Each structure stands twice: as C-alpha cells, then as structure tokens.
Amino acid sequence: MSEAAMTSTGDVLPAGTKGVGHDFSSDMQSFHVPWGKAMMWIFLLSDTFIFSCFLIGYMTVRISAVDPWPIPSEVFALSFGGDPIPLILIAIMTFVLITSSGTMALAVNFGYRRNKKMTVILMLATALLGATFVGMQAFEWTKLISEGVRPWENPFGAAQFGSSFFMITGFHGMHVSAGVIYLLVIANRVRNGFYERRGGNYEIVEITGLYWHFVDLVWVFIFALFYLW
C-alpha cells in the first residue's frame, strides 16, 4: 500500500497519522473566524467576568447582610387603582427584552438573505424595544428614589440593597442604551448601502446580534437573582 497520497495538483502528501497532521495544519478555513466576530466574542467574554463579579458580590452581600433583606415582590410592586401587583413592571420589562431578542434574530436571518428592507425594519424594531426597556427602567429608578432608596440607605431594610440595585441594573441599563445606539448606527448603514459599497456582506448584523443577545441573557440572570430570589 502506498505511503503517500497525491492531490489534484500533483503534490505528494504523507499518509497515515502524518497525513492527518498535514490536513489539519493546511486547512486554514476550518479555523477561520472573521476578525469582527472574534473581537466581539472577546469583548463579551470580558463583560461576562464583570457581570459575574457583580452578581457574585450581590449574592455575598445579601447572604451576609445583618438587617432584613427587602422582599422584591413588595418593593417592585405597582398599583393600578387597586391592590399592588407584584413585579408587574419587571415582568413587562423582561417580556420586552426577550421579544427584542426575537426581532434581532430575525434581522440576522434577513441580513444573510440580503433583504435590506426587512433587516433595517427589524433592527429598528429591536432598538425601539430596547429604548422602551430603558424607559421603563428609568421609571423604576424614579419610583424607588422617590420612596427613599439610595445607594447608601434603604427604608425597606438592609442598606446594601440600594447600592446593589443601582450598580447592577445601572450597569446593565448602560449596556442596553449603548446597544440601542449601536443598532441605530448599523441599521442606518445597512439602509444607505454602506456595506454593499465596500463589497462586504451583512455579517455586521450578526455581530450586532451577538452583543444584543448577550445583554438579554445577562438580564435573565439579573431577573432571577435580584427580583425572584
């Protein structure tokens, strides 16, 4: 049996285990990751560490708090002319953000189909939902501040509650706000043919989607640990 193989161009390649090593080292496409996507993944990885530190710090503070920790279902309840409804605003905010993740996924799908109109519409819809989320979060902050909650004090119980709440939700809200601006910029560039003139595709839409899905995923952890625990 021959100890070597020949390619279509006439090059002789080693057989057996040596051939496997050659195949893996020469097949550059198997390991190819677009530069923009790789940089976004690195950024999201670093952001994961930051959010993890915040949430772990929150859990540590809550477990070690001496004063009673406020009950989220009472603190975040809203009344609409009757009895308070626990976590109603938070539930709506979560629904809005999860819905925006769906519109973003559809935008990526239509982007790869090179359907400019639908891509732009869905990205704008995602940005609108994100802005709605930020608006509701601003209302939530305003309500708690008017009730006396501060980073250094809290009339509902443990003082650490205020600092944890404003730090974690504020940092996440900043990410959502930046994401809304990012979506608007990319949607406008897709609309005016910026990427087509450069001879590229709509891969940037997928990169934008990675960031947005990450922001949505982080909110799921915040919702579970801060509002439900």
Residue pLDDT, tens place only, 205-221: 999 999 999 999 999 99
User: Global pTM?
Assistant: 0.82
**pLDDT at 141 > cutoff 80:** yes
Would you kindly state where each structural domain of the chain is located, as residue ranges?
A: 1-32, 34-227
Backbone φ/ψ region at 119: left (φ over 0), alpha (ψ -120 to 50), beta: alpha
The confidence score (pLDDT) of residue 114 equals 87
Alpha carbons 194 and 104: distance in angstroms, whole number: 20
CATH number for the domain whose boundaries are 34-227:
1.20.120.80
Q: Which residue has the higher pLDDT, 210 or 79?
A: 210
- pLDDT tier for residue 1 given thresholds of 50, 70 and 90: very low
Q: How confident is the model at residue 3 (pLDDT cuts 50, 70, 90)?
A: very low
Which helix (H) or strand (E) covers residue 5, if one does?
strand 4-6
Q: How far is CA 87 from the centre of its chain?
A: 22
